[in-house]
A = this chain, B = another copy of it.
């Protein structure tokens, strides 16, 4: 399909308006009462246009949430891995405790439990890229000698994100900054003794199990 620059711009404006409308309506009505009809009306686009770009309401919400998430949880590099992880996790915790983002993500997680296609989309578009970026950030810290060689970086990422999800899905009070600081300190400490001896062969008792598993 050949499109002119102006129709591309119009198209981008409509996409943006749709994502904004979805989050606005989520704030006003709560996730469950938002419909594709209402999003279309608020954004000034047709339902057909929305369904051309996204398979469902939850698809619109997923893209809207992902864009905000990526914006507020960057992987900064100040040279201090503990400070950078604290900033990252604090950003995530704040996002999840702020309407409409927390409720929007809850709505997505709720649907994922009985929608395998959505679950795959969430993992591919949101979870896996963020997980890999977190592993990559730890790997750079490792290269700078801030994390021991041989540390189980995917497990470290699960230890960081796991408690945040645990509280979010069980709707417990979210972490405050002191708790996030304790979490990050514990996770980094758990890696300290995790390096295998330099001469440990693959699979020897000195080697940390769980390396190289599918995440």
Contact = CB atoms under 8 A, between A and B. Distances in A.
A7 interface: no
Interface string A164-176: 1111011111001
A163 interface: yes
A17 interface: no
Interface in A167-200: 167, 169-173, 176, 178-179, 181-183, 185-187, 189-194
A74 interface: no
A158 B187 CA distance: 12
A32 interface: yes
Interface in A196-210: 208-210
Contact of A170 (B31, B119, B156, B191): B119
Contacts of A111: 110
Contact of A163 (B158, B185, B186, B214): B158
Contact of A165 (B166, B208, B215): B166
Contacts of A176: 213
Given A109-B113, A113-B107, A210-B178, A166 B162 contact: yes
Contacts of A119: 170-171
29 contacts: A30-B114, A32-B114, A107-B114, A109-B169, A110-B110, A110-B113, A123-B170, A123-B172, A127-B172, A155-B163, A155-B182, A155-B183, A158-B166, A158-B183, A159-B186, A161-B162, A161-B166, A162-B166, A165-B165, A165-B166, A165-B169, A166-B166, A178-B209, A179-B213, A182-B208, A182-B209, A185-B209, A189-B193, A189-B194
